[in-house]
Structure 1
Amino acid sequence: MAAKTPQPERMINLLALLVQRAQPLTLKQIRQELVNQYPDGDSAARAAFERDKAELRALGIPMDMVTLGGDKAGEGAYTVDRRQFEIGDLGLNEAERSALQMAIATVRIGASHGDEALWKLGGERALDRPSTSVNIQMDDKQMPALAAGVVEHRTLKFLYKGQERQVDPYGLLSRGGFWYIVGFDHLRNAQRVFRVDRIDGEITNGDAQSFSRPEGFDLAKAVPTELDLLAEGDGDDAVAKVLVDAALAQRVKAEFGDGAVLRERSDGSIEFAIPCANLSAFRIWLFAMVDRAEVLEPPRVREHIVSHLQKIALSN
């Protein structure tokens, strides 16, 4: 049976597996750990693995191969030393982080170097399309526990919104500037999505292979889309009218659909109705277009954007 795991998800799991293991792993061992994520046939699995390896190396993540000895003499094994590619804590304050977030979003448009830096900082890098998001706050203390839970099928325990949660983690994904863990929540007796930065305190792991991921589970569909993220929030205004320059208007139209179009101007620019209840996500989305997008209304949202830009300018 062919592997059903999307390549981006499989790459994240592969990287997490190799980063947390002190000893190099052979492809056979990797396939045993990442159950059903590579094709069953040896040739097909090798081809898929080589594609993953090439993509990770293209992102600047050095995956080293060592030749084993002893009873595995001559066999290749793979390892990743996170110290060779991770950027350490930059010690940024909130204003500096906001400025960097805006700068990286700007560099992202049509620039692979921005994507590479994004990945190293813990952000999302979609392999088949540009990303409009960045999250540089992934806690190093959380990643090993989360990755082990997903890769080794270990039940996680953590405090979330003041409640003790016990979760069978099906997948880990970064989207819209935040990391999400998706899994079966024993407290609610149903599948739930948890934002990682809202987990309080330490995450503990149960025994390996303590649960099975549902057949046909689709991580990408389980996590809210960027449109959903923009709409999820407690802002006073639900929708903003945004004018997008002709150079980017068709891309935004393709992203949000014809239903979001309010008016197409003769110069090629388009006025859109964009969800903005989540002001933080909306701000990141807007800033990615730099001076090619403008909030027209409502006044409260426009004033919020102008005020935020003024604060960034004053802090530099």
Structure 2
Amino acid sequence: MSKSNIKPVSPAAKAVGLMRVLTSTRIGLTAAMLRDRIPDYQGLSDAAFERAFERDKSRLRSLGIELTVEKLEADALGEVRYRIDLPAHRLPELHLSDQERLVTALAAAAVGGSGWGSHARRASVRLGGVSASSPGVGAGARAELSSPPDAAEALILAALCEYPVSFDYRAANGEHTERRILPWGVGQQAGRWYVFGGDIERGGERMFRLDRIQGSVAQANVRKAEMVHEIYGRPDKFSMRDELARLTHRDLLQEVWVALAEGAGAELKARGRSMVEDRGVEVVAVNGVYSDVIRECAAVGAAVVGPGDVAQDIADTALIEAALAAHDSAGEDQSSPRLRLSAGGRPSTDQVLADVISLASVIQSEGAQDIDELATRFAVPRSEIERWLATLELGAHIVEDVSTDQASFGLRLDGNTVELSADEELTYPLNVSLQEATALLLGCELLLSVPGLEPSVHDAADAVVEKLTQARAQLNDFSAIVAIEPGQHRGETLRFAEMLGQAIAEQRTVHMRYASFEATTERNIDPLTLVRFDDKLYVRAWCHLRGEERTFNIERIVNLEVTDRQATHTLSDERPASSTGFPGGDPGTEALLGFGRDSQWMVSSFRPSVTRRTDTEVIARVNVVSAESIARTVAETGGDVRIVSPPQLRDDVRAALEDLLESSRLCRTVGTELVSQLAVTPTKNLNPTSKQEQK
């Protein structure tokens, strides 16, 4: 290849070329040889070459591909030579059963909406998993789960590899500080994610909430004299699950008396025990996390009226007042037309390179492949597979022959079939990277936290976790480092989840009484998949009443019966995004929302099409079902979520907030009087009822 004819190629193709060179030599190449033979290095200054070579080595290392560095005894100059020892990167035989291979696909789908999704998908494919939408994956095993926070990936990897990190942290009192810790473990409990570790700055052990981490997590620089690992390292018997169990804070379940207006808060009414009802207001006793109940009350214009001194708190009404004040003070954001939002752009070079390597590994180890089937397995369009193949072919041919001992390599397309020809030593699957294995393990842990799935799925997920931790040495302590705890759910919620899981497995229609925000209705549904979002459980189902797929909060189910009727609808491959944060909602209106520092953890739940981060908030383009639905979010966050545009939606949300405030004040006044009268004259006929009596 003439150097003058070298055309610009993508960074991923260049990295493929470097990998091709380093795997093709058995005696290794010096830095000077690589500089002479790889077009991307030619013409660079010494300093620029060093930077480029270090960048590419780091890129390969992040994919789990380490360079072998050695000196030849016969080399009089004693120069360092580099090569990639492919046999050392071979995927160990994990002996996965068919059911376990299916579970890898489910685990990949479970984290598919997060930054872990592409990592988990590649790992699943390399382990022989199929697409989660394939017919062979049982419907009863399906689950969709909310995305872990962005910081989770960096912190889990740091805990596995035992290196310190730094991040900006907003404490409960609003103070912002830079923290340096050596992470010991990462886990989720009650819908919140935590990292636990040794605090390098302040000493001792510390627990941090991930939703309070501002910006990105970076590897920290430490001085040797600080003896970080000796002083702040993870204890031998550490268990993140045990640390989560020791969490004690005010977010504990307790009984709260809530006053609700007629026709509002059907979910709270369904969960609670009715105490008294009069003058269009009902007081119900609800078991819940106090702070969560306060937010729920703000969202539906209700008020906490007991027991005891909590009635004086008025935190729910204050949230709505704060939301209105923030709404008015913000005004219309005149800069919004000039916002340059990012939809994520093209995949990163690292991601493309990882996909290309995974594709090549599958074709090399399994033989000729149908391109359409590859697209199904990788859960991408056919055009994406074709781009990866083009990158692979270009990368393999942009480098000149480097030695006579190189292994042969060739890509052949025959109609719809693709085949790679290579020496025998290249025809086995490469090992999954640490990120890929960790992502898949995280998906398995999330699966195990969802009630209602078939027991065989839980058993298979347990087996995959045990076997996959053998793939890389850093994963030996994964179960101690990462813990996903099941949510705090009522007994009825868990029972209904089990019944829905049974109905999904047996493809049965379910009859239920369901309490929405506005009313309680009778519904016949064909349940399709269980969903865990944060700490809440949902079921996505075909609703016979609405004639479309809908998502139902299992906590709002009043009563449920699995019928003998065969379900008539199955899970569709395409899932519309929802502004409520889970699949199955109405398309709604496109809007720009601003998420303040306390609410940025919510952004991913809205499935934004584009986002942009500023110094004070994240701007996201989302679909909003209605002004009333987004007003509930604005109210429960005290205005930390705002409407940037369109103007009409801003006006409609303000009107909805005013209605919520009026309702909250009325409920507080009437509810307080009703509770007072009930305490003084408990036998007075104020229409006290109970939900059990109403059934």
TM interval, short-chain normalised = 0.3 to 0.5
Q: TM-score, normalised by structure 2?
A: 0.23
Question: Over alpha carbons, which structure has the higher Rg?
Answer: 2
Q: TM-score, normalised by structure 1?
A: 0.43
Higher relative contact order (CA 8 A, sep 6+): 2
